[in-house]
Amino acid sequence: MQPAVRAQFPQARPRRLRRTETLRRMVRETRLSVDGLIYPVFVVPGGDVREEVPSMPGVYHQSVDQVVEDAREVADLGIPAMLLFGLPSTKDWEGSEAWAHDGIVQQALRAIRRAAPSLVLIADTCLCEYTSHGHCGIPGPDDQPGFIENDRSLELLTRAAVAQAEAGADIVAPSDMLDGRVQAIRSALDARGLVDTAILSYAAKYASAFYGPFREAAESAPQFGDRRGYQMDPPNGREAVREVGYDLAEGADMVMVKPALPYLDVVHAVKSTYPDVPLAAYNVSGEYAMLKAAALNGWLDERRSVLEALTCIARAGADMTITYSAKDVARWLSSAALSSELTAVG
């Protein structure tokens, strides 16, 4: 402590307020709530399919009928929102199933909308799960690795966003990191009268190694090159605040920082700069897999470590967290034993 502060508060004895659980509960600065949870799912073609993703125990590839069951459970647990990813039956150069009227996510959106009408449905808007090359946009004619044609790709992304909105998505979430996509999507939606569909932009999305398990789950690893020509460079923090500013100027209703745990400084910076903008953080596949693997080995207490991680994401400034642990967290938060467990954090 600074000597000046000690002089200002000569009687300070902070441990007084840590003495009992009730005291700690009363002065707690951050309260984790089910209201801020968003649950991601992977939809696959077929019927009666429910296959665990090997690198993400507890996460499944599910056909539409199974996702509908899952959606009912998610709604019953009080989780407000689901984020949908799709694995198409066939991939092609332009990722046409991303915007097909009957594309896999569009089918799921219609079915869930009927089964769980109050659930907030968020569609991940991207091409990488649908393209044969695995990039989030369309590679250009020169074969520079990972080179993506920005404006041509925007045209395809906007088609996907429109198809998702028409199928019932409350929110479309562009995750491609191409320039100008928020504005392109907003105009395309408005032109079709889809003025109530909101945009959650993956505004500060980094070229992160922590997406590894997701790319296995979504079969979306780039077939050549990498995503560093469009996703952000991990060492850059100030740039993230600028990216968020551009997306807000283009009409984003909510913004996201992704990944979450290694980027809490970015979450904090974005929240400090734009305190009034709803901010989501994506606790990505690799973050999930790390804790899960350690828990399965008996090296970490899953409940305590997941709750601590999510509480810290909220403390950094996230209003919402996208997490594969959402259903477990909702159950834990509603269990009476929770408060004493949370405070048992070492």
Instruction: Identify which of residues 259 and 342 has a Cβ nearer to ligand PBG in the complex.
Output: 259
CB of 113 to ligand PBG, least distance (A): 22
Instruction: Identify which of residues 216 and 308 has a Cβ nearer to ligand PBG in the complex.
Output: 216
Distance separating alpha carbons of residues 38 and 235, to the nearest angstrom: 27
Q: Which of 91, 258, 271, 292 is catalytic?
A: 258
Catalytic-residue membership of 205: yes
Instruction: Identify which of residues 53 and 307 has a Cβ nearer to ligand PBG in the complex.
Output: 53
Distance separating alpha carbons of residues 200 and 221, to the nearest angstrom: 23
Catalytic-residue membership of 91: no
Per-residue three-class SS string for the chain: CCHHHHHHCCCCCHHHHHCCHHHHHHHCCCCCCHHHEEEEEEECCCCCCEEECCCCCCCEEECHHHHHHHHHHHHHCCCCEEEEEECCCCCECCCHHHCCCCCHHHHHHHHHHHHCCCCEEEEEECCCCCECCCCCCEECCCCCCCCEEHHHHHHHHHHHHHHHHHCCCCEEEECCCCCCHHHHHHHHHHHCCCCCCEEEEEEEEECCHHHHHHHHHHCCCCCCCCCCCCCECCCCCHHHHHHHHHHHHHCCCEEEEECCHHHHHHHHHHHHHCCCCCEEEEECHHHHHHHHHHHHCCCCCHHHHHHHHHHHHHHHCCCEEEECCHHHHHHHHHCCCHHHHHHCCC
Burial of 284 (0-12, 13-18, 19+ CB in 10 A): buried
Instruction: Identify which of residues 322 and 342 has a Cβ nearer to ligand PBG in the complex.
Output: 322
Instruction: Identify which of residues 60 and 214 has a Cβ nearer to ligand PBG in the complex.
Output: 214
By the criterion CB under 6 A, which residues form the site for ligand PBG?
Answer: 124, 126, 128, 136, 175, 211, 214-215, 284-285
Instruction: Identify which of residues 74 and 284 has a Cβ nearer to ligand PBG in the complex.
Output: 284
CB of 298 to ligand PBG, least distance (A): 25
CB of 120 to ligand PBG, least distance (A): 18
Instruction: Identify which of residues 37 and 342 has a Cβ nearer to ligand PBG in the complex.
Output: 37
CB of 94 to ligand PBG, least distance (A): 16
Distance separating alpha carbons of residues 123 and 120, to the nearest angstrom: 10
CB of 173 to ligand PBG, least distance (A): 8
CB of 317 to ligand PBG, least distance (A): 20
CB of 175 to ligand PBG, least distance (A): 4
Q: Which of 91, 205, 271, 292 is catalytic?
A: 205
The catalytic residue positions are 205, 258
